[in-house]
């Protein structure tokens, strides 16, 4: 596994987005704007996730759940849980999962999924919570996951510190996030798809298609690979590293809460 400052050793979301770019050209990540955007895409969110990823998002989430290395009885926070697919992937392995998100229309759609795994794993419980104001005592969880959500928070470093505070010392974190491929040819093809084709598909299939125009901008602004691993280390994590998945279009980051 890669670590901050070292090289990659392996190559392998939710399609979502935030609000529109502001007048200065940067992405508007104010909580109200992001919440409204996600509420608008909620009805087609799962369909577009599976379609735009070629159903690979299911595999990525399983990888993230496995990366925690936690089983029955463990307590896990799934932050920016959305419609609950990552919480389901973790819950199927046995941990008790708190599925937290600040967009109620997204959380509402998770309930049916959670009920379906009640007999085959641990049933997650959904709750409304903001990544920048988590309502949990310190060291409440043994592990945490965030899938395709951290690039939408208004203050990334504050969210990472909140995650670290919510984990017990030695607790494990797994983060899935979109990335740009490091291979130049693949990167060029991916950017063409990401900037041109994906927004067109989103506009055709979603009532809030502008969210899929925002997606490339939010990915381009997000710190990737080594830069993100270094942010994790500064926020209170140790051993931060990553694996490239799907040719480097997605990264699975892992880290451990410092003791």
pTM (2 decimals)? 0.83
Residue 18: what pLDDT? 38
The bridge status of strand 96-101 relative to strand 125-128 is parallel
Provide the pLDDT for residue 118: 60
User: What pLDDT, in 10s, does the model give residues 99-114?
Assistant: 999 999 989 989 888 9
Residue 148 maps to a domain: yes
In a domain, 175, yes or no: yes
Q: Which segments of 1-74 does DSSP mark as H helices, in order?
A: 31-41, 45-53, 56-68
Give a yes or no: residue 20 inside a domain.
Answer: no
- Say if 222 falls within a structural domain: yes
> Per-residue pLDDT averaged across 14-34, rounded?
49
Nearest-angstrom CA–CA distance, 39 and 35: 6
Which residues, listed in sequence order, are joined to residue 174 by a DSSP beta bridge? Answer: 145, 254
Contacts of 64 (CB under 8 A, 6+ apart): 86, 89, 90, 145, 147, 174, 175, 176, 252
Beta strand 141-147 with 125-128: parallel, antiparallel or unpaired?
Answer: unpaired
Q: Containing domain of residue 149, as a range? A: 31-257
Comparing 154 with 51, which gets the higher pLDDT? 154
- Residue 242: per-residue pLDDT: 98
Number of domains in the chain: 1
pLDDT of residue 116: 80
Residue 144's beta-bridge partner residues? 77, 173
Residue 1 lies in a domain: no
Report the alpha-carbon distance of residue 177 to residue 231 in Å, rounded. Answer: 14
Within a domain: residue 240? yes
For residue 127, the domain's CATH number is 3.40.50.150
Q: Is residue 22 part of a domain?
A: no
8 assigned to some structural domain: no
Cα distances (Å, whole numbers) of residue 209 to 35, 64, 205: 15, 28, 7
Q: Are 79 and 86 in contact (CB under 8 A)?
A: no
Of the pLDDT bands very low, low, confident and very high (cuts 50, 70, 90), residue 203 is: confident
């Amino acid at each position: 596994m890669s670590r901050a400052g070292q090289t990659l050793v392996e190559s392998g979301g939710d399609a979502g987005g935030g609000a529109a770019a502001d007048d200065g050209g940067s992405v508007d990540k104010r909580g109200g704007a992001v919440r409204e955007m996600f509420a608008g895409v909620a009805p087609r969110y799962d369909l577009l996730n599976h379609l735009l990823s070629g159903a690979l998002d299911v595999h990525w989430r399983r990888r993230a759940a496995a990366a925690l290395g936690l089983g029955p009885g463990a307590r896990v926070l799934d932050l920016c849980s959305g419609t609950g697919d990552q919480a389901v992937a973790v819950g199927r392995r046995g941990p008790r999962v708190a599925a937290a998100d600040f967009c109620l229309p997204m959380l509402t759609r998770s309930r049916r999924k959670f009920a379906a795994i009640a007999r085959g794993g641990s049933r997650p419980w959904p709750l409304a919570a903001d990544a920048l104001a988590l309502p949990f005592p310190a060291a409440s969880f043994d592990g945490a996951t965030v899938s395709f959500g951290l690039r939408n928070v208004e203050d990334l470093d504050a969210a990472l510190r909140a995650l670290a505070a919510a984990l017990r010392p030695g607790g494990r974190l797994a983060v899935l996030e979109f990335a740009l491929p490091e291979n130049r040819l693949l990167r060029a093809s991916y950017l063409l798809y990401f900037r041109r084709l994906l927004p067109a598909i989103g506009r055709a299939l979603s009532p809030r298609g502008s969210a899929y125009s925002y997606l490339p901008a939010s990915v381009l602004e997000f710190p990737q690979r080594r830069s993100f691993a270094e942010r994790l280390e500064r926020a209170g994590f140790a051993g931060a590293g990553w694996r490239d998945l799907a040719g480097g279009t997605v990264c699975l980051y892992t880290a451990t809460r410092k003791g």
